[in-house]
Amino acid sequence: MQYRTEKDTMGEIQVEADKMWAAQTQRSLQNFAIGTERMPHEVVMAFAQLKKAAAKANHKLGKLSEAKMKAIETAANEVIEGKWNDHFPLVVWQTGSGTQSNMNMNEVLARRGNEILAEQSSDEKLHPNDDVNMSQSSNDTYPTAMHVAGVMAVTENLIPAIQKLKATLDEKAKKFDGIIKIGRTHLQDATPLTLGQEISGWRHMLEKSERMIRASVEEMRELAIGGTAVGTGINADPTFGPSVAEFISEAVGGAFTSAENKFHALTSHDEMVYTHGAIKALAADAMKIANDVRWLASGPRSGIGEITIPENEPGSSIMPGKVNPTQSEALTMVAAQVMGNDATIGFAASQGNFELNVFKPVIAYNFLQSVRLLTDSLISFNDNCAVGIEANLEVIQNHVGNSLMLVTSLNPHIGYEKAAAIAKQAHKEGTTLKESAVKSGHLTAEQFDEWVRPENMVGKK
């Protein structure tokens, strides 16, 4: 294997000749051989957008030549296109400010930018710190990249996934609106509702979660850029941060701004805690929906069995013909992971000391993992389960007919205590509710048929 010698302020180090990174990235690889979790791809892409925007802002300020600016821009665009994915090898478990990942990007863009300048026969040469990192510090670039990556992941991926499942559930709610089924509270029989009403509750959960996530993610559009090392903006023009935010907005869409208070932006990550809290709320709703689906589809002969779901794959290596609610299981596991991620993010965000929080990579990793997992699992649950939900009318009608809680409709006519006695007697003797009611002498069979009508118990006008 061929190597080249790279230098930084600590001396020389050997780097594989075909790698685009330089000394500081190589030192990180050697010093942090911890785990297999790499810096999220979304953060790398956001860094490339940031460096391109910073080069434009520095050129606008007269600090960076047009040739250097265009070389950085071209190299950054190549990163965004995925050309240099293999040249961002660093793990999450590194310096808590993300310094090495910032330098990884600086080094790759400088090396590739210098190749571009050489191809143009330019005498200029890019330096990773002096040019690509001009007017910046890892302390303001990494939190900026975190926010840009988070906003893009939520708006471009998670929101559309929510909308897709929401549309499916809306269609199912309308389709099954006329099917009366027994309700359940405390896992026990309750008064009737329609299957459509039940599913409409699931749909509204997603609608509410979407609104909360949309509102919270707007807080992440404030960027730390311009704060440099400790929030004072040392070595950066006061207009640099707003200019970078403007260029990022043009590149990725939406209105990003430079944070009003950079001292807050460098040491606090409450915006990501807030947004992930809304994402956790979505995970909680996803857990409930997935659990309801697998309970309602349980059986097929000894469970509730009121709905059927697609049979996607064999469910057992020993029991022939068994089919399991695997999409529900996958979605609930994702929900559990997101809830764990929320605990990590909350604790990590609480660890800002003085002018800097040094838990940034783990916050970014867990936040983006939650978004990615929920996006993928909601789409999978929709495509492989929700679209195929059907009502099992025979089972539903049998459950309604056998329910003792239909006795609730007798309360206004004979009172709670007499109605309760009728239900308990029917359960004890194994008779129908109607038989027990007539036997009680509190009402006639004709009155029972008039008063106990499930279709009048579902709140529909």
- By C-alpha distance, which of 350, 393, 352, 164 is closest to 267? 352
91 three-state secondary structure: strand
Count CB atoms within 10 A of the CB of residue 271: 24
d(CA 269, CA 266): 8
Rounded to the nearest 5 degrees, what angle is found at the Cα of 284, between the Cα atoms of 278 and 288?
A: 145
The annotated binding site is made up of 97-99, 127-130, 137-139, 185, 317, 322-324
Per the CB < 8 A criterion, the answer to whether 344 and 362 are in contact is yes
Q: Strand pairing partners for 7?
A: 12
**DSSP one-letter string for 133-145:** TTT--HHHHHHHH
Q: Strand pairing partners for 192?
A: 182
Q: Catalytic residue among 186, 258, 350, 370, which?
A: 186
What is the amino acid identity at position 324? Answer: N
Count CB atoms within 10 A of the CB of residue 137: 24
Residue 458's Cβ-count burial label (10 Å; 0-12, 13-18, 19+) is middle
d(CA 425, CA 442): 13
Q: Is 243 a catalytic residue?
A: no
The annotated binding site for substrate is made up of 97-99, 127-130, 137-139, 185, 317, 322-324
Q: Catalytic residue among 147, 258, 264, 316, which?
A: 316
Q: Is 316 a catalytic residue?
A: yes
**DSSP one-letter string for 184-239:** EETTEEEEEEEHHHHHHHHHHHHHHHHHHHHHHHGGGGEE-TT-TTTSS-TTS-TT
Per the CB < 8 A criterion, the answer to whether 40 and 364 are in contact is yes
Give the active site residues: 186, 316
